[in-house]
Amino acid sequence: MPAPIRLFLQLMIGMTAISLIVPRSGRAGGPAATEPELPSRPERHAPPTQIEPGRPARPQPPPPEAMPGPMSRDQQRLFDGLRSEGIGLYRQGRYRESAERFRNALRIKPNDTVTQRWLRAAENNQR
């Protein structure tokens, strides 16, 4: 038998022997010995019924009635005016008055981060 064919057969026999010893997952001992059984596909994506220890809970979105709706044009104008006045007063060094304007603006639009920063700056300069 020619040498290349003999080498090929030896290689094939060796690979067959190895595949009988080592499972396809690549780990000795088989997958059942090291890995837990995975749930069926629909259960994989279901939300957990219990929170695992040491794992924080997922934050839940606020209910729709708690989320503010779009502002009207009048509310937007009032908000912009109050914030502009607050910035002007802040630049004049009238921090107490500017903080009051920023608080009033935040009553209209509580999640406005720019106004929140101006308010913190005005409150920090009052001290």
For residue 45, is pLDDT > 90?
no
Does residue 89 lie in a domain region?
yes
Looking at the structure of the chain, the number of domains it has is 1
Does residue 1 lie in a domain region?
no
100 vs 68, more confident? 100
Residues 16-28 have a mean pLDDT of 58
What span, in angstroms and rounded, lies between the C-alpha atoms of 81 and 85?
6
What span, in angstroms and rounded, lies between the C-alpha atoms of 3 and 114?
80
62 vs 74, more confident? 74
For residue 50, is pLDDT > 70?
no
Task: State the pLDDT at residue 9.
Answer: 74
Does residue 43 lie in a domain region?
no
What span, in angstroms and rounded, lies between the C-alpha atoms of 83 and 108?
11
Does residue 95 lie in a domain region?
yes
For residue 33, is pLDDT > 80?
no
Does residue 97 lie in a domain region?
yes
For residue 44, is pLDDT > 60?
no
Would you mind telling me the total number of residues written for the chain in this entry?
127
Task: State the pLDDT at residue 43.
Answer: 47
Task: State the pLDDT at residue 97.
Answer: 95
- The band of 57, judged by pLDDT with boundaries at 50, 70 and 90, is low
Task: State the pLDDT at residue 6.
Answer: 78
On average, the pLDDT of the chain sits at 75
Contact 98, 125 (CB under 8 A): no
For residue 41, is pLDDT > 70?
no
Residue type, 87: I
What span, in angstroms and rounded, lies between the C-alpha atoms of 99 and 96?
5
Does residue 30 lie in a domain region?
no
Does residue 36 lie in a domain region?
no
Does residue 26 lie in a domain region?
no
The domain of 120 spans 72-126
What span, in angstroms and rounded, lies between the C-alpha atoms of 116 and 112?
6
| Distance (Å) of CA 10 to CA 16, 20, 21, 31, 57 | 10, 16, 17, 28, 57
End-to-end CA distance of the chain: give it in Å, rounded: 97
In angstroms and rounded to an integer, the radius of gyration of the C-alpha atoms of the chain is: 34
Residue type, 59: P
Residues 54-60 have a mean pLDDT of 64
